[in-house]
Structure 1
Amino acid sequence: MCEDLGFERLLSEEGFFARLLGRSPSGGGREPLYGADLPVVLLTGGPGMGKGRLLRAVRDSFATKVPVIHLDCASPVYADRAEPEPGARSAATEALVEVARRLSTWQGTGGSFAFPRFFTGLAMIATGVTGGTPDAVAAEVERYEELPQKQRFRGLGAGDFWRGVLRGAIRNLLTTLSGQTLDPYSASVSTALLDALFAGLAPRGRAELARIYGAYPGAAGQPEHGLRGLAADFQAGGDERELAESFLFRALRQDIEAAYASASGWLRRVGRPGLLLDHAEAPLGEQLLRAVLTDRRGGQRDRVVVVGTARRADGGAFLYGGLPPREVPAPAEFRPADGGPPEWSPRTGAEADRAPLAGGVLLLRMPFLTGDQLRRETERVQRPAQPEHGANRRRMDAAVARLSGGRPHTVIRLAAAAAAFRMPADANDREILDAPLRLTGDGVPERPVADVLLQELIMEQLPVRLPAEHHDQWLDLLTHLSVAHDKECADVLLRHHQSGHVHRLTAHHVARLLTDTGWPSCERHFIGDFGLRQLLVHRLYGLRPDGAAWYADHHLLRDHYTARVAAAGRTGGGPAADGGGRTGDGGRTAGTGPVTGTGSATHAGSATHTGSGADADAPDGAAFRSVVAHRMNHHLVSGGVDDVVRYLAATLPGRPEEWCAELLEIAQAPYPGGADTRRERARGLVAAEGPALRRTVDQLLHAVWLCEERTRPTGRETARTLAKLLDLLSIMEFDGAGQLGRTATEWSGLAENEQPLLRCTCTDQLGRRR
């Protein structure tokens, strides 16, 4: 796998990161972007968009030229290191210590970094160590003894204004107190530690500590007060601890800044240092981002390039101070495909220090792969194609493009699985999802690529705020929700599949969690990402033999909307246009089984209704113009094809424009597993009974269904079929027939160019990504 797949322009010699860091991957200097005031750059994109891959590529490309530290904010290692001494350590402090330790061993241009300011704060919070005795505090402080001074400058002479903060000085002093009787956590221990920190410091060293820690809230310019307050806040926990941790992060950045701003640093150091925060949506990452953004909003300057990841498209709710994002000036954003980075400057004015943090970020929208990039990746992993397999490879490329939507990680996995796969004739794209994929590693068995993707995109990237009691059922819930269209539809499924659970998620909760995780929304599909929805639909059909879980979910929704239609009829909302021709009976008559004509009976009813399909109007925000259309959609895909045909044939006369819109809504549905007879049925090769109008509507329904599913090519043949069938209808003897000629032209043009007939957010994005 090419690490920079899709990132070539960002990582190039003249690319965004070369200018942001002030140095190219080959070591050449570059004019830095944005001057002394820097935005925090957030890479935005959902699972599989390559945020972590890009951060690793930045580290690998630049880390030998400028100091670049990569931190995984979701790693449990920092909390694990803090656990033995919860009063003196935290996940945040351990992560900051990790950054300082790596920079203290930096061997590139300018040499290693020292962290005396940061070390001073760490030493003070060490007074919260278990026992609180001088020996215990000294042992804790000794963990950081390599940080205050560069390794090669141990024992600097009088010219170094940090002299006195040397190896062993604090331990030696505190050890002399160990024989005395001191109460654990008493002021005597803190006083002794402060004396040790300040003993022997040159005036400039004292002034620097005064500048840093004298600015701590409540210190009134006195560094000793600031350090005592820092330790007290850290030990208090909660918001007070977060304030102390944020201040330590400031001290660390000030140490880095000092290494560049000094006379020797100005001569010897080049570019800008970088801190790359992977999984920055995790609590630790959000805390670090909030700290640096708050400091910079308040006027604190440093040259550390902070790049984090953000699943949410808006960068994260914490950026907006509790206000709806639409009420806050939009952050600057950069789409690599649109050219160079935008202008950026910090927000100014009287209210700037209280403005939402969104003004301090630049959102870098992670790029989807272009068609050329996608083809190059599939060609890279394909075996050399024989001429007779050329058509199969083109078919596979198109299938990978549709199922991935250009999402880089999905492209990589699907392309690898498809390398030796032969697509059956006239197959649905989802056939690829059963292709075996062997991941790297000894003894790793092959697994269907669908299972790998679901594990990597869902189970390994659970929503940060998903309650623990729902972790085990998250994938199952999303699987059932793959057939939902709007929140009402989703709530019906959630109530059913969480029956008996004390803690339940609603459609509102799930929609918010999906947004937080970076999955897009769509006005017609509850699972708004086309590729993710296909993965989940595929899993749903395979959950139980013969697609039983699939049919059960669609039947559940069909029955719900049947009851809605019946209720509308009872309350005077017009005739119950349920496709059953029976007002108020809920459609409880014998119907057909699965679409293929085999399977258990379902209740459906005959379609002798002659009224409008919009009798039972859908509420605002629903995915369908009527409850009837919603019901018919689920009935279509769960065994009621003939009923839907009868309904459509009965409701066409007199309302061709409304009817066409309703047809598109009904037919925007996935096709179940098993043999697909739609193409033959659309072409009239499957015997159908009834008058000419009904037979033609039958064929048209199946042609439209093929176009709307978006998981197979349509092309010229289907376009011709659409045009022919609509033209036939346009010359029949019913009211408004002639209006269908224009529809024939429009729909056939869209189908010929592989465009959806009914547009929605996810199908529009699908077309643009390709």
Structure 2
Amino acid sequence: MTELYAREPLVRGLVPKLVGLAHDRQQTVPRQPDDDLPVVLLTGRHGMGKTAVLDELATSYEGRLPLARADLAAAAPTARTQLGTSNVSAVVDTLFLLAEGLAPAVPQYGRRRFDRLLPGLFAVSSWHRGNVAEQTLARERIARLLTACELRSGDEDEGDTGVAWMADVAAQLAEANGDDDLEPVADAVVRQYFDRHVGRREARTVLDWYAAQSSAGDQGPEVLVKLSLRFHRGGDFRYDVEDTLVSAFLADLADAYGTWKRRTGTPRPLALLDNVHTPGGRQLIDLLLRARAGARARGDRPDPLVVVATQLGRGGGAAGEPAEPAAIADAAAWCRLPAGTSPVPLHTVTLPPLSRRDVLAMLDHTPRALDAYLPSALHRLTGGQPLGCGVLSDAVLNLAEERAARPGQLLELTTPDGRPVTEELLERLVGQPQLRDLLVLLSLARDPEAAGALATAYAPLSAEPYPADTAERDLERELWTAGDGTAFVDDPFLRALLVEELRRRCAGDGARYRWQDLHGTLRDHHTALGAEGEPDALRHTLAAGAAEAVVDRLTGCFGDWEAARWLDCLRHVATAPHPPTAEWEDRRQEIARGDHDRLRADTDDVQRSVHRLLHGLWYVVDTVAEPSEQACADMGRELAFLAQRHVSGHAALTWASQEWPLAAREKRPLPAAAGPGGTGGTGGTGRAQ
């Protein structure tokens, strides 16, 4: 079984209580509640482990109870719809998958037939004559359902079931009106289904059920033919048909899970739905809740289906802050509400980030000693994102077979199969290759305007007319905008991955981009903005490796600017990403210690101090750096020295000499100076981007 750390209360507590079967052994557990099952909705941003929970549930319960799984993102029929295929929708595709998954026999369950749902699915799968795409889709669906529900005739082979079934329908159409290309097909499909697979009494019961759902007064097979025609019309007509089919699905499950199974505690069926934040996913959940509410209002027998769904969402409170790890245990302790209380149709569980203790557990079993502070660096880099923690921990353990990884190497590691960790993580976090490549380029930008300057210079042949605008919309849609607002790619971990991937792509003679050229473009963009853009221009100058020019400028304006302005500029400049290691040797700690002062004998004390301070800050604010006590003390000493050299900024610089080392020791972003008084503030990031 996969270790899920903070997600264990879900898979070992909440879901077993709902399905009535232990997670890891064949033992029934008391089920809660008996009626009015909620849809369990797992919500969180990309990489928070939503799909991993579904993976674990599928692995645990497969073959032990009826189980089906569907990915609503994969069920989106956009491409096929554009080809003129009208017998498809995300809801219907998902119902096919659910029926196919839940139908096979498992212990305590025979094979389920879905007496109501199947004729409806066959009907809406009907095709327009001559439409090859619709025919192909119908053949695939019919073959899979006939196999899953064991509806094949004795003389049919499993491989050609769909072909033979479709051929028999085609034979019935030989005499049909050639001007009518859908209705005769639907009629033939419906009649053949009932003739071959359903007895007369069963057929009458099913058709009466569909007639009761319709207000048109149709009877017999005609009611399903009309159902098919309405589905193909799309829009409100299709929505009404999907509503009917979801009700049929739940009613079939309610019948299959009869009084005897309820009394004997037979485990309930389980449906795992991924990505229900998609349009089709939202519609399916709405229809499911609507059908359950209708059944409850009519006094019908409740269906037994346990639904665990995932949804991309910020989670947390109104401001979107991460959920606390303890919150998941509280959510997993949920039980039935007191009698007379209105049922809760949705039980939302926001997945929290992993704790530092979880990361320690991931790294416990290493073949050699690790850097003592590597777990905290890994946790700080990922923000506790489970996917990031898992991939990086595996890479650390893989390298540990040869040598111990250092915190500064985390983003340069490779996975056990030899892929760069940045490539692996970005592929899983940003699924679209074109967007991923564009974000790698734009990750250096401060804001949309800077991103536009980069895109104009380096992505002129993009398929999008305004690639930076497109990337900004995609970041917003995929909820990658929950950072501090100081960069175009707002999420710190995603930005760190993108920047490191850009470093990797800039290496070598055949590289598409040159690191210095990219930062030169951004430096020129911000320089054109005048004084307002100078901190960013200096930041990109430093990122390109031209530290001497930055030191000269910071020294030159030290006595002219107010101390708070100078400190905030210094603090921002120090967040510059360092150049690729292939073309730059990291000597920041050596310079901060003063080891290179002998090379600057021709400069004064202030310039040498600024030189040491800038390089010390540049290292300390690096997300994966582990600053020593000496480095923090040196930073404070340099700031205290400069406080004695500024004509009006003694208070501000003295404040920084105390607060910045403290923040560095506590792994917090450096606080911003508030103004001439130097009392400090909290604006900005103060952490490398």
Establish whether residue 740 from structure 1 lines up as the match of residue 653 from structure 2: yes
Separation in structure 2 between the aligned mates of residue 21 and residue 762 of structure 1, nearest angstrom? 48
- The code of the aligned residue for 2:284 comes to L
Aligned-pair distance for 1:109? 2.6
The residue number in structure 1 matching 2:51 is 52
Q: Residues 101-112 of structure 1 correspond to what in structure 2 (within 5 A)?
A: 101-112=100-111
Establish whether residue 263 from structure 1 lines up as the match of residue 259 from structure 2: yes
Separation in structure 1 between the aligned mates of residue 415 and residue 574 of structure 2, nearest angstrom? 33
- Relative distance call for 1:44 and 1:435 in structure 2 (3 A) is closer
The residue number in structure 2 matching 1:448 is 420
Q: Residues 600-679 of structure 1 correspond to what in structure 2 (within 5 A)?
A: 616=532, 627-653=533-559, 655-672=562-579, 673=581, 674-679=584-589
Establish whether residue 374 from structure 1 lines up as the match of residue 359 from structure 2: yes
Q: Which moved more, 1:236-245 or 1:249-258?
A: 236-245
Unaligned stretches of 5+ in structure 2? 155-160, 297-301, 673-681
Separation in structure 1 between the aligned mates of residue 625 and residue 465 of structure 2, nearest angstrom? 37
- The code of the aligned residue for 1:406 comes to G
The residue number in structure 2 matching 1:531 is 493
The residue number in structure 1 matching 2:272 is 276
SS state at 1:277 partner: strand
The residue number in structure 1 matching 2:523 is 558
- The code of the aligned residue for 1:509 comes to T
- The code of the aligned residue for 1:480 comes to L
SS state at 1:543 partner: helix
Separation in structure 1 between the aligned mates of residue 567 and residue 358 of structure 2, nearest angstrom? 37
Establish whether residue 10 from structure 1 lines up as the match of residue 7 from structure 2: no
Aligned-pair distance for 1:477? 1.5
- Relative distance call for 1:642 and 1:331 in structure 2 (3 A) is closer
Aligned mate of 1:701, from 585, 604, 614: 614
Separation in structure 1 between the aligned mates of residue 611 and residue 622 of structure 2, nearest angstrom? 17
User: Does structure 2 conserve the Cα–Cα contact (< 8 Å) formed by 1:520 and 1:529?
Assistant: yes
The residue number in structure 2 matching 1:215 is 213
Q: Calculate the TM-score normalised by the size of structure 1.
A: 0.70
User: Does structure 1 conserve the Cα–Cα contact (< 8 Å) formed by 2:67 and 2:269?
Assistant: yes
Separation in structure 2 between the aligned mates of residue 544 and residue 765 of structure 1, nearest angstrom? 23
Higher relative contact order (CA 8 A, sep 6+): 2
SS state at 2:273 partner: strand
- The code of the aligned residue for 1:638 comes to A
Q: Calculate the TM-score normalised by the size of structure 2.
A: 0.78
- Relative distance call for 1:691 and 1:527 in structure 2 (3 A) is same
User: Does structure 2 conserve the Cα–Cα contact (< 8 Å) formed by 1:558 and 1:634?
Assistant: yes
% of aligned pairs identical?
24
- The code of the aligned residue for 2:61 comes to F
Establish whether residue 244 from structure 1 lines up as the match of residue 241 from structure 2: yes
Separation in structure 2 between the aligned mates of residue 361 and residue 502 of structure 1, nearest angstrom? 41
User: Does structure 1 conserve the Cα–Cα contact (< 8 Å) formed by 2:574 and 2:617?
Assistant: yes
Separation in structure 1 between the aligned mates of residue 558 and residue 401 of structure 2, nearest angstrom? 38
Q: Residues 235-634 of structure 1 correspond to what in structure 2 (within 5 A)?
A: 235-237=232-234, 240-241=237-238, 243-260=240-257, 262-268=258-264, 270-280=266-276, 285-295=281-291, 302-313=303-314, 337=327, 339-341=329-331, 361-380=346-365, 382-383=366-367, 385=368, 390=369, 392-419=370-397, 421=399, 429-439=407-417, 446-458=418-430, 461-462=431-432, 471=433, 473-501=434-462, 503-522=464-483, 523-545=485-507, 549-565=514-530, 577=531, 616=532, 627-634=533-540
Q: Which moved more, 1:239-248 or 1:720-729?
A: 239-248
Separation in structure 1 between the aligned mates of residue 383 and residue 150 of structure 2, nearest angstrom? 51
Separation in structure 2 between the aligned mates of residue 87 and residue 412 of structure 1, nearest angstrom? 42
Unaligned stretches of 5+ in structure 1? 155-166, 316-324, 347-351, 353-358, 440-445, 463-470, 566-576, 578-615, 617-626
Separation in structure 1 between the aligned mates of residue 220 and residue 479 of structure 2, nearest angstrom? 43
- Relative distance call for 1:483 and 1:139 in structure 2 (3 A) is closer
- The code of the aligned residue for 2:649 comes to G
- Relative distance call for 1:497 and 1:223 in structure 2 (3 A) is farther
Separation in structure 2 between the aligned mates of residue 697 and residue 114 of structure 1, nearest angstrom? 78
The residue number in structure 1 matching 2:158 is none
Separation in structure 2 between the aligned mates of residue 311 and residue 452 of structure 1, nearest angstrom? 20
Aligned-pair distance for 1:69? 1.6
User: Does structure 2 conserve the Cα–Cα contact (< 8 Å) formed by 1:332 and 1:362?
Assistant: no
- The code of the aligned residue for 1:404 comes to T
- The code of the aligned residue for 2:99 comes to A
- Relative distance call for 1:683 and 1:34 in structure 2 (3 A) is farther
Aligned-pair distance for 1:294? 5.0
Separation in structure 2 between the aligned mates of residue 176 and residue 693 of structure 1, nearest angstrom? 90
Separation in structure 2 between the aligned mates of residue 143 and residue 542 of structure 1, nearest angstrom? 46
The residue number in structure 2 matching 1:592 is none
- The code of the aligned residue for 1:727 comes to A
Aligned-pair distance for 1:309? 2.5
Aligned-pair distance for 1:115? 0.5
SS state at 1:393 partner: coil
Aligned-pair distance for 1:556? 0.7
- Relative distance call for 1:479 and 1:733 in structure 2 (3 A) is closer
Q: Which moved more, 1:223-232 or 1:192-201?
A: 192-201
The residue number in structure 2 matching 1:159 is none
Aligned-pair distance for 1:699? 2.1
Aligned mate of 1:722, from 635, 639, 657: 635
SS state at 2:364 partner: helix
User: Does structure 1 conserve the Cα–Cα contact (< 8 Å) formed by 2:589 and 2:615?
Assistant: yes
The residue number in structure 2 matching 1:587 is none
Separation in structure 2 between the aligned mates of residue 116 and residue 238 of structure 1, nearest angstrom? 26
Separation in structure 2 between the aligned mates of residue 8 and residue 410 of structure 1, nearest angstrom? 18
The residue number in structure 2 matching 1:620 is none
Aligned-pair distance for 1:737? 1.4
SS state at 2:309 partner: strand
Separation in structure 2 between the aligned mates of residue 148 and residue 742 of structure 1, nearest angstrom? 74
Aligned-pair distance for 1:57? 0.5
- The code of the aligned residue for 1:670 comes to P
Aligned-pair distance for 1:36? 0.8
Q: Which moved more, 1:749-758 or 1:262-271?
A: 262-271
Q: Residues 123-138 of structure 1 correspond to what in structure 2 (within 5 A)?
A: 123-128=122-127, 130=129
Establish whether residue 230 from structure 1 lines up as the match of residue 235 from structure 2: no
Separation in structure 2 between the aligned mates of residue 131 and residue 428 of structure 1, nearest angstrom? 64
Aligned residues: 637
Separation in structure 2 between the aligned mates of residue 253 and residue 649 of structure 1, nearest angstrom? 73
Q: Residues 144-159 of structure 1 correspond to what in structure 2 (within 5 A)?
A: 144=145
RMSD of aligned Cα (Å) = 4.8
Separation in structure 2 between the aligned mates of residue 331 and residue 405 of structure 1, nearest angstrom? 12
User: Does structure 1 conserve the Cα–Cα contact (< 8 Å) formed by 2:103 and 2:149?
Assistant: no
Aligned-pair distance for 1:479? 1.3
- Relative distance call for 1:333 and 1:540 in structure 2 (3 A) is closer
SS state at 1:447 partner: coil
